[in-house]
Amino acid sequence: MLNAQPPASSADNPFFRDWTGPFGMPPFAEIRNEHFFPALERGISENRNDVLAIAGNPAPPTFANTIEALDSTGDLLDKVQGVFSNLAGAETNETVEAVSRKVAPMLAALRDDQMMDPKLFARVKAVWVMRNSSGLTPEQVRLTDETYKSFVRGGAGLDSAGKDRLRSINRELSTLSVRFSQNLLKETNAYKLVIEKREDLSGLPAGVVAAAADAAKRANLPGKWVFTLQAPSIWPFLTYADNRELRRQILIAYTKRCDNGNEQDNNQVLYRIAALRAEKARLLGYETFAHLTLEERMAKRPEKVYDLLNQLWTPALGLAGREKSDMQAMISAAGGGFQLEPWDWRYYAEKVKAQRYALNEDEVREYLSLDDVLKGAFMVANKLYGIQITERTDLPKYHAEVRTFEVKDSDGSLLGIFLTDYHPRPGKRVGAWSSRYRGQRIRNGKDIRPIVVNVCNFSRPTAGKPALLSPEEVETLFHEFGHGLHSLFAKVRYKDLSGTPRDFVELPSQIMENWATEPAVLSTFAKHYQTGKPIPPELLAKIDRAGKFNQGFLTVEYLAASLLDMEWHTIKSEPKTDAAGFEKAALSRIGLLPEIYSRYRSTYFQHIFASGYAAGYYSYIWSEVLDSDAYQAFKEKGNLFDPNLARAFRTRILERGGSEDAMQMYKDFRGREPSVAPLIQKRGLSTNTQ
């Protein structure tokens, strides 16, 4: 049952007043660490009291006084969480981490109290039973359906003992996921490969060496070079460093994160998470946690996921085997006298690529300054949708490196505010993501526009050079910007229909990657950082020819992680081995090449143990089927910026959120269900050639 609690109070807390600055931006300069917990506490209390009032309403239940009323609750909590959760990922500190640990079980309890309140569920069910005969719009029927399902899946139908156990499971899971994430951040930040001898830098491009020197200065190690486990540091090192032993050291450190028997060890944490999830699924009447999760996604059931992954696994493994042979031949020809190991793969792949295509990634970087790439992403959005993106230097920001932009539609109306935060810091978790400080919603007839942020960990500028991106980082920037556009274009009446299934949400992001790598588009924004000259046609041709290179490796390491995720979440009870043994057995069953590590090992697989991708990491490849097929539609038109097709993609997919079935939205755009053929062709998995 829900229980009312007195609200907290604080006269100077900025969360307790209206934000009247430009666009209602959070007043970051006024927000202090001590404001978070009282604001979260009050937000939880207000939300609880609002829901209690709905449950206790003496009037007969209707869509307006029950379903719509529930959707309208939680404004203060949304406001606080919008800031707190984003800063916890991008600009955390010990105080924020402590608040995260304290508030996680409180939020879990709030949701459980709502989902398991019998009076509230009775009202929801009453509206749901009459949903098709109450004159509701299709969107209102969908909201009613989704609300009812969330109650059932939240334990509303359990008996008293079942509800108590589910509460206990959810409370423990909420704290374990926070612990997993915080352990990973600490373990990632703790490692430094310190190089003192210049000869150990052999093979590394000048820009990589300069970045390592800057990192050493920040670590109070002037005159030395520091490499870390952050993506802009470790991957160039593994790609170019001639020192094989140092490559081994840094890759082992990366793959052993949170697996070192210390305070940050995640083995027991993830083992417990997996066991609790399996128990939760059984309690709710599902065979496994994957069955529980996938019911609300496009895949619907685990078998469909395995079907797709297995369809790609065999050709990808075969292609990776041929790539391995090419590299081993190069090692033997050079008199290496050793077998290829995981720490050799990127290094020799780069050499094979240079030999086969005369393509040097460091040369390509010189045409991919961060500013130019960002302008390129904005240009693509403008040509597709007519939107205008203008930098605003007068808006509040949470860190000096953040940039803020006003986004206007083609008619001049406001679409939203867009923030970028592109470089690694000790307080920022690894990876790249898009999020919202405020989501789009309708309140009292007013369309409140979103505040969206892209957070990444790209290469930093160095002395005399701007931030120069790798081709992979360019794709990441376009990817996250695609998520940002999805949020900025939203036109959804109800906030509970703003989300889309996990295996559909990557479509808007991944389709943007296609324009990023299209030679005709790349040539318009890739300019040399010194001369300003456009990228030469011959270099573009090399990039295009090498487009399918190393796809065996990239596909296998990704699919291995996706299959590992599914293995953890199709267990029916607590695993009979420890976490390390479970992972080893899972990867052995699929025949993963020993020269390739899974993209994520379990102990640092944040997507599935501390984020929303549990039984869902497959979503990227599932969505790649969608994005490859959708992009093919533009290619079939003969115009990559066809205005009618772009308008259809916007209105039938980007604007709709979760207000309609995902497959139906796709069919509304494409006229049919997606084909896997464009993906097979794109990754080069249908042929023996590279």
pLDDT digits 0-9 by tens, 598-617: 999 999 999 999 999 999 99
* pLDDT value, residue 562: 98
pLDDT digits 0-9 by tens, 516-564: 999 999 999 999 999 999 999 999 999 999 999 999 999 999 999 999 9
Percent of the chain, pLDDT > 70?
98
Count of beta carbons in the 10 Å neighbourhood of residue 464: 9
CA 271 – CA 261 distance, rounded (Å)? 14
Count of beta carbons in the 10 Å neighbourhood of residue 328: 17
- Give the mean pLDDT of 256-263: 98
The answer, yes or no, to whether residue 5 has pLDDT greater than 80, is no
Q: Where are the alpha helices (DSSP H) in 256-301?
A: 267-283, 289-294
CA 147 – CA 338 distance, rounded (Å)? 60
* pLDDT value, residue 462: 87
CA 553 – CA 322 distance, rounded (Å)? 10
* pLDDT value, residue 463: 80
CA 456 – CA 370 distance, rounded (Å)? 12
DSSP letter for each residue of 557-571: HHHHHHHHHHHHHS-
Contact at 8 Å (CB) between 5 and 22?
A: no
* pLDDT value, residue 689: 41
- Give the mean pLDDT of 116-129: 98
**pLDDT-derived band of residue 9, with 50, 70 and 90 as boundaries?**
low
The answer, yes or no, to whether residue 25 has pLDDT greater than 80, is yes
On the CB side of 133, how many CA atoms lie within 13 Å of its CA? 3
**pLDDT-derived band of residue 688, with 50, 70 and 90 as boundaries?**
very low
Q: Which of the following is catalytic: 146, 279, 480, 557?
A: 480
Question: Quick check: is 506 catalytic?
Answer: no
The answer, yes or no, to whether residue 7 has pLDDT greater than 70, is no
CA 235 – CA 472 distance, rounded (Å)? 11
- Give the mean pLDDT of 282-306: 97
Structure letter (DSSP) for residue 650:
I
φ, ψ dihedrals at 407, nearest 5°:
-115, 120
**pLDDT-derived band of residue 11, with 50, 70 and 90 as boundaries?**
confident
pLDDT digits 0-9 by tens, 450-494: 999 999 999 999 888 999 999 999 999 999 999 999 999 999 999
Which sign does the torsion angle of CA 638, 641, 647, 653 carry?
Answer: positive
The answer, yes or no, to whether residue 94 has pLDDT greater than 60, is yes
Helices first, then strands: H and E counts in the chain: 28, 9
pLDDT digits 0-9 by tens, 180-211: 999 999 999 999 999 999 999 999 999 999 99
On the CB side of 39, how many CA atoms lie within 13 Å of its CA? 25
The answer, yes or no, to whether residue 336 has pLDDT greater than 50, is yes
* pLDDT value, residue 8: 46
Domains of the chain: 14-157 (1.20.1050.40), 191-255 (no CATH), 370-545+619-682 (1.10.1370.40)
Beta strands 414-421 and 451-455, pairing class:
parallel
Tokens of 446: 């007013």
- Give the mean pLDDT of 228-257: 97
Least confident of 173-182, 358-367, 449-458: 358-367
The answer, yes or no, to whether residue 321 has pLDDT greater than 80, is yes
197, amino acid identity? K
Q: What is the average pLDDT value for the chain, to the nearest integer?
A: 95
- Give the mean pLDDT of 45-53: 98
Count of beta carbons in the 10 Å neighbourhood of residue 680: 17
* pLDDT value, residue 388: 98
- Give the mean pLDDT of 658-671: 96
* pLDDT value, residue 112: 98
300, amino acid identity? K
- CA 63, 66, 69 angle in degrees (round to 5)? 100
